[in-house]
Amino acid sequence: MKTAVLERIVSPSDIQNLSIKEMEILAEELRELIISTISRTGGHLAPSLGVVELTVAILNLFNPDEDKIIWDVGHQAYAYKILTKRREKFSTIRQYQGLSGFPSPKESDYDHFGVGHSSTSISAGLGQAVARDLLGLDHKVLAVIGDGSMTAGLAYEGLNQAGGLDKDLVVVLNDNEMSISKNVGALSSFFSRKLADQRYLRFREDLKSWLEQVPRIGEELVNYARKSEDSLKSFFTAGMLFEAFKFTYVGPINGHNLRQLRKVFEQVRSVKGPVLIHTLTTKGKGYQPAEKNPTFYHGVGSFKPETGERRKRKSDLLPNYSKVFGESLCRLAREHQNIVAISAAMPEGTGLDCFQEEFPNRFFDVGICEQHAVTFAAGLATQGFKPVVAIYSTFLQRSFDQLIHDVCLQELPVIFCLDRGGLVGEDGATHHGAFDLSYLRLIPNLTLMAPKDEPELQAMLVTALSLPGPAAIRYPRGRGPGLALSSDPHSLEIGRGELLRPGKEVMILAVGSLLTPALRAAEEMEQESPSSIGVINARFIKPLPEKEILDAVQTCSKLLILEENTLAGGFGSAVLEYLNDHCLMSGLTVKRIGLPDRFIEHGPVDRLHQLVGIDVPGIKEGLKELLD
Does 104 help bind ligand TPP (rule: CB under 6 A)?
no
Q: Rounded CA gap, 310 and 289, in Å?
A: 11
Neighbours of 309 (CB within 10 A): 10
CB nearer to ligand TPP: pick between 174 and 573: 174
Neighbours of 107 (CB within 10 A): 16
Compute φ and ψ for 258, nearest 5 degrees. -65, -35
Q: Rounded CA gap, 292 and 511, in Å?
A: 42
| 3-class DSSP state of 52 | helix
317-356 per-residue burial string, b: 16 or more CB within 10 A, e: under 16: eebbbbebbbbbbbbbbeeeeebbbbbbbbbbbbbbbbbb
Does 192 help bind ligand TPP (rule: CB under 6 A)?
no
Report the residue from 33, 73, 232, 614 that binds ligand TPP according to the rule CB under 6 A: 73
- Among residues 31, 283, 420, 542, the one annotated as catalytic is 283
Q: Rounded CA gap, 92 and 301, in Å?
A: 15
Q: How far is the CB of 341 from ligand TPP (least distance, A)?
A: 17
**Binding residues for ligand TPP restricted to 199-238, rule: CB under 6 A:** none
Dihedral angle over CA of 416, 417, 418, 421, nearest 10: 130
Q: How far is the CB of 273 from ligand TPP (least distance, A)?
A: 24
| 3-class DSSP state of 555 | helix
Does 368 help bind ligand TPP (rule: CB under 6 A)?
yes
Does 50 help bind ligand TPP (rule: CB under 6 A)?
yes
Does 241 help bind ligand TPP (rule: CB under 6 A)?
no
Report the residue from 68, 81, 112, 117 that binds ligand TPP according to the rule CB under 6 A: 117
Q: How far is the CB of 250 from ligand TPP (least distance, A)?
A: 19
Does 121 help bind ligand TPP (rule: CB under 6 A)?
no
CB nearer to ligand TPP: pick between 281 and 328: 281
CB nearer to ligand TPP: pick between 153 and 482: 153
Dihedral angle over CA of 413, 417, 423, 427, nearest 10: -120
Integer CA distances (angstroms), 575 to 70, 538, 614, in order: 42, 10, 18
- Among residues 94, 233, 362, 398, the one annotated as catalytic is 398
Q: Which residues contact 81 (CB under 8 A, 6 or more apart)?
A: 90, 93, 99, 103, 108
**Binding residues for ligand TPP restricted to 375-434, rule: CB under 6 A:** 395, 398
Integer CA distances (angstroms), 275 to 113, 168, 353, in order: 20, 8, 37
Q: How far is the CB of 57 from ligand TPP (least distance, A)?
A: 16
Q: How far is the CB of 232 from ligand TPP (least distance, A)?
A: 28
Does 602 help bind ligand TPP (rule: CB under 6 A)?
no
81 is annotated as an active-site residue: no
Report the residue from 147, 419, 453, 505 that binds ligand TPP according to the rule CB under 6 A: 147
Q: How far is the CB of 145 from ligand TPP (least distance, A)?
A: 6
Does 180 help bind ligand TPP (rule: CB under 6 A)?
yes
CB nearer to ligand TPP: pick between 75 and 592: 75
> Per-residue DSSP letters for 232-292?
STTTTSHHHHHHHTTPEEEEEEETT-HHHHHHHHHHHTT--SEEEEEEE--TTTT-HHHHH
331 is annotated as an active-site residue: no
Q: Site size for ligand TPP, by CB under 6 A?
A: 24
Report the residue from 31, 68, 75, 285 that binds ligand TPP according to the rule CB under 6 A: 75
- String marking each residue 278-307 x if it binds ligand TPP according to CB under 6 A: -----x--------------x---------
157 is annotated as an active-site residue: no
Q: How far is the CB of 349 from ligand TPP (least distance, A)?
A: 8
User: 215: cis peptide before it, omega within 30°?
Assistant: no
Q: Which residues contact 545 (CB under 8 A, 6 or more apart)?
A: 495, 496, 497, 536, 538, 539
Give the footprint of ligand TPP on this chain (CB under 6 A). Answer: 47, 50, 73, 75-76, 117-118, 146-149, 174, 176, 178-180, 283, 298, 345-346, 368, 370, 395, 398
User: Which residues are known catalytic residues?
Assistant: 283, 370, 398
